Structure 1
Amino acid sequence: MIWILAGTSDSYRLIEKLKENIDINIIATAATDYGKKLLDEKFAVKAIRKRLSEAEMQDFINEHAIKYIIDASHPFAEELSRNAILAAEKSEIVYLRYERKSLDLSIYPDKALIKVKNYLEAAEEADKFHRIFLSTGSKTADIFVENIDNFTERLFFRILPAEKFLKKLIKLGLTPANIAALQGPFSREFNQAMFKEYKADVLVTKASGNRGGLKTKIEAALELNIPIIIIERPEILYPQKFEEINNLIEYLKNN
């Protein structure tokens, strides 16, 4: 049995390819109801919607006779990945990381990019600007709200149009004027229109990768001479990592 830690577009593409190429049972976990529904209905994979601790992961591995964990979660789901690595090690099974290739930031002018290690550093850098456009999601919004003065006049979040995300931002004291709830991906032109509409002085984003729309965001901001604060990916020592699905499938066939 293969256990897929799902929740990204890459994980869904991976599942499709696995079903086409390998005769093995697949079970997947997702962090949202939407992710579970997609796995159940579109990909016909047994899916469970639950966030698991490391100990719960070990129980899950034993209960479902897991042979491989394939971690295809978001590059910034740091806790999930670290727990999965430990659970696999303690259960003496194989952990494999499948991660979208990161965008090569060296192709852009250094002076235009402000690279930071975490959200707090991003908030501290963003505070040097007036109007701040964030495409970092709602999960870490409190860090920006708590560290930036007059946040209702300065912070503008673009998030997925899900009720729980909207509720979280409203609970933090943000208003509808601070929130753009939209489903991507977005073109360079659309990003530019949004940056102009919100009169953004700086963009804060994550180094998610090409599929996360990072390239179009950077190019849109550069053309408008808007500085970009980029939160770099967490540094995780993965036991084995694959950036190409075909290489991962070949590994599974030979092992």
Structure 2
Amino acid sequence: MSQPGGSRLWLIGGTRESAELARAIANRQLPCLITVTTPAAQSLYPDSAFLEVRVGRLGEATIGSFLQQAQVSHILDASHPFASAISALAIAAAERWQLPYLRYQRPELAPPQSPQVVLTSLESLLSSDLLSQQRVLLTLGYRWLHQFQPWHGQSQLYARILPSPEALAAAIAAGFTAKTLIALRPPLSLELEKALWQQWQITTVVTKASGKAGGEDIKRQLAEQLRVRLILIERPAVNYPQQTSNIAIALRFCQNPTPHI
């Protein structure tokens, strides 16, 4: 395969921050290809002659042809903090084809206070007894729900998922029912979050350390207020060659993808 090359930015999207970046990129009239994994995520982005949004998953077998056909010249990775697979794929591709890469990393919140629990992985939670005999609300996304199937008999599980057919089908397959599911797109207001926790008499909430944009700050505040145990799963460790949490720096990279920030 020939060397990928072109003059178009590849924005790895699917987050609110990526939508903010996309609007600024369009305003600067920079050609940009945005990739997302679900049709619902397309609605995040404005209509613009400078933006193209593609839906689908990329893999090692398709990344080279994708970069070439899309005429990618540089990569801005604004994917979700837990979307480590696409980040790793983009980093490897950038290194192989010598394309400038920058990770826009959603800012992390300060370390939480008691009664919150921070765990390094989902596996460490599932191998513990933290969920035993609890009324548990899972706000982890539908892809992890199947791993909680053995816990349906040991605790009362509830789940909040995205309002999509794919998420609903996965949740039902994982043993959840109409009485134990609610489909809402985050982040939720504190009032709505509180009403949900109280309606289901939640004693433990499991969520990802996804930052303010994912509603982590509201969950922390509410956990303190209601004395509910909040279990946070840490972000996966990814060795980003370049990263920033500054939108302005990310936009400068879009216009001038120099090797160093």
Output the TM-score relative to the length of structure 1. Answer: 0.90
Q: Which residue of 1 aligns with 2:180?
A: 178
Q: 1: CA distance between counterparts of 2:92 and 2:232?
A: 29
Q: Which residue of 2 aligns with 1:25?
A: 31
Q: For 1:1-255, what aligned pairs fall within 5 Å after superposition?
A: 1-21=8-28, 23-39=29-45, 42-44=47-49, 45-105=51-111, 108-109=112-113, 111-125=114-128, 126-146=130-150, 148-150=151-153, 154-254=156-256, 255=258
Question: Secondary structure of 1:28's match?
Answer: strand
CA deviations on 1:209-243 (whole Å, 9 max, x unpaired) are 10111101111111111111000001101011111
Shift of residue 2 of structure 1? 0.2
Shift of residue 128, structure 1, vs aligned partner = 3.3
Return structure 1 stretches of 4+ with deviation > 4 angstroms.
none
SS of 1:141's partner is helix
Runs of at least 5 residues in structure 1 that lack an aligned partner in the other structure: none
Change in Cα spacing, 1:188 to 1:36, as seen in structure 2 (3 Å) is: closer
Give SS of 1:140's match: helix
Question: Residue 5 of structure 1: CA displacement?
Answer: 0.8
CA deviation vs aligned residue, 1:58-90 (integer Å, no higher than 9, x gap): 211122221111111111001111111111111
Kept after mapping to 2: 8 A contact 1:120/1:144: no
Name the SS of the counterpart of 2:143 in structure 1. Answer: coil
Whether the 8 Å CA contact 1:54–1:84 is kept in 2: the answer is: no
Moved more, 7-16 or 168-177: 168-177
Separation (CA, whole Å) in 2 of partners of 1:226 and 1:37: 34
Alignment-mate amino acid for residue 34 of structure 2: A
- Identify, as 1 or 2, the structure richer in helix: 1
After TM superposition, the score normalised by the length of structure 2 is 0.89
The one-character-per-residue Cα deviations of 1:165-218 (angstroms, maximum 9, x if unpaired) are 111111222211110112332122221211111111111011111011110111
Separation of aligned partners in 2, 1:142 and 1:221: 25
Query: Residues 43 and 158 from structure 1, CA distance in 2 versus in 1: closer, same or farther, beyond 3 angstroms?
Result: farther
1:37, 1:127 → 2: CA distance? 36
In structure 1, distance between residues paired with 2:18 and 2:106: 10
Consecutive unaligned residues of structure 2, counting only runs of 5 or more, are 1-7
Describe the SS at the equivalent of 1:237: coil
Over the aligned positions, Cα root-mean-square deviation in angstroms equals: 1.8
Identity %: 30
Tell whether the 8 Å contact from 2:210 to 2:235 is kept in structure 1 after alignment.
yes
AA matched with 1:150: G
**How far apart, in 1, do the equivalents of 2:157 and 2:16 lie?**
28
Shift in CA distance, 233/121, structure 1 to aligned 2, threshold 3 Å: same
Show the counterpart of 2:3: none
Count of residue pairs brought into register by the alignment: 248
CA contact 1:207–1:214 (8 Å) conserved in 2: yes
The Cα of 1:38 is off from its aligned counterpart by: 4.3
Provide Cα deviations, 1:148-169, integer angstroms capped at 9, x if missing partner: 2516x61100111112211111
